[in-house]
Amino acid sequence: MKTIQTIILSILSMTLFSACIPSGDGAITVPFKANFYTDRNYDNTGEGVCTEDPYLGFNYQVGKGKATLLGSMDVTISFCGIEGTPFYKNGIGTFVAANGDKLYIKIPAEGEIGEVYPKENHELYELQFQDKFSFNGGTGRFAGATGEGYTDSFVDLLDDDGNFLPEHRTDHVWRGILKLPNK
C-alpha cells in the first residue's frame, strides 16, 4: 500500500512541476486551453486587408470565453478566404484579458492554409475546422509570447429551416503550448 501511495505522490509532484516549465532560453512554458465562441460581425469591413488573390473574402468575428492565464476574455478574429470554397489564410486574432492584457494569434499558423469542412451527422453544427494556430506576442504579461496549438472549432451556419445565418456562431476549444519570456 505504501508503494502505491509513493507512486501516486510522485506522479502528482511531477504533474505540478511540469505544468510550468522553464525552457532552456528562460521562457516559461505552460499548457494552453481556450473555450470560447465567436459570432460573424459585419462592423469591420476589412477594407484593404484581403488583397492576395484569390483570398479576397474578408471574415471578421467577435466573441467571449475563458483561457489559460487570461481567465474571462474578449476575442476578435479575422481572416481571408476564397469565396465559395473551404480555404482560408492570413488569419489574425486577439484574446483580451479582463485587465486589458492582449495575446495575439495567427490562424492558421504562418505560411499555412486552413480548411473548413462539413461536420456530418450533427444537429447543431454544419462545419468544422481543426487547424494549427500560433501565438505572436502580446501586451502586458503576454509581451513576447510564442507557442502553438490546434483548433477544434465548430460552425453553426444554418438555422433550423436550413437558411444561412449571417451572424453565424462558431464554438471553439483550442489547445496548445504557450511560451512566455521569463522577465
| CATH code of the domain covering residue 146 | 2.40.350
User: In the numeric block, which cell numbers belong to residue 136?
Assistant: 505572436
Asked whether the beta carbons of 72 and 101 are under 8 A apart, the reply is no
If one compares 111 and 63, the residue with the highest pLDDT of the two is 63
**Distance, CA of 154 to CA of 170 (rounded, Å):** 5
pLDDT value at 183 more than 50:
yes
Averaged confidence pLDDT in the chain: 87
Counting the structural domains of the chain, the total is 1
pLDDT the model gives residue 121: 81
Contacts of 103 (CB under 8 A, 6+ apart): 67, 70, 94, 95, 97, 135, 138, 142, 145, 178
Confidence of residue 119 (pLDDT cuts 50, 70, 90): confident
pLDDT the model gives residue 15: 37
With respect to residue 127, please indicate whether it lies within any of the assigned structural domains.
yes
Nearest alpha-carbon partner for 42 in 62, 17, 15, 14: 62
With respect to residue 119, please indicate whether it lies within any of the assigned structural domains.
yes
CA angle 58, 60, 129 (to 5 degrees): 90
With respect to residue 27, please indicate whether it lies within any of the assigned structural domains.
yes
With respect to residue 129, please indicate whether it lies within any of the assigned structural domains.
yes
With respect to residue 45, please indicate whether it lies within any of the assigned structural domains.
yes
24-73 confidence digits (pLDDT tens): 567 899 999 999 999 999 999 999 999 999 999 999 999 999 999 999 99
Distances (CA, A) of 66 to 23, 54, 73, 171, 176: 26, 34, 6, 12, 14
* Average pLDDT score over residue span 120-128: 89
With respect to residue 8, please indicate whether it lies within any of the assigned structural domains.
no
Q: 118-154 in b/e burial notation, b at 16+ Cβ within 10 A?
A: ebeeeeebbbbbebbbbbbebeebbeebbbbbbbebb
pLDDT the model gives residue 14: 39
Q: Which domain holds residue 103?
A: 20-180
With respect to residue 3, please indicate whether it lies within any of the assigned structural domains.
no
pLDDT value at 7 more than 50:
no
With respect to residue 9, please indicate whether it lies within any of the assigned structural domains.
no
